[in-house]
Amino acid sequence: MNKKELKKGFGIILKFLILSPIIYLILKPLEGILKRYIAFNSYIVIKIFEECSLKDNIIYLPNLSIEVIEGCTGITSISIYLAVVFITGKNVKEYFIGTLFGVIFIYFGNVIRIALIGILSNKYGNPILFHDLVSYIDVPVISVIATLIWFDIQNKMKNKWYEQ
């Protein structure tokens, strides 16, 4: 690796380290709104497998209740993903497609995470263990998969433009 490539790599990392917290601070006010939507969508998924009810942002299962709080909204993962999109995107079309895809993908990945925590905790107890276990697996996996799919979409868009 030559000096120019190394400098470019550090520049990309620096942009990411600056941009991701800025995006997070911009999106953070949405956490209060999103927690109810996340709770509702998680409730719908849990309802397929378990008897439950929903009041505000709390899902009541037979053996426990789950409160969906601001930290459960996935805004941190979305911010990190969007920083990657804005750093690697080349034009407005890429920004739009990358943003739309990633936000939806991470949002529903987060819904599945909460539903899994609820179902497993209700059946086997120990909600803290299942919260930590499922979260430590789901959050990075969903984020990495979203990013890899984004790179694939971006590559296909680039190849399509060259063909025109």
The catalytic residues are 72, 113
What is the C-alpha to C-alpha distance for residues 72 and 39, in angstroms, rounded to an integer? 9
Point out which residues pair with 80 in neighbouring strands.
none
* CA 41 to the chain's CA centroid: 14
Match 């959050």 to its residue by tokens. 139
Residue 145, amino acid = I
Give dist(CA 124, CA 53) in Å, integer. Answer: 19
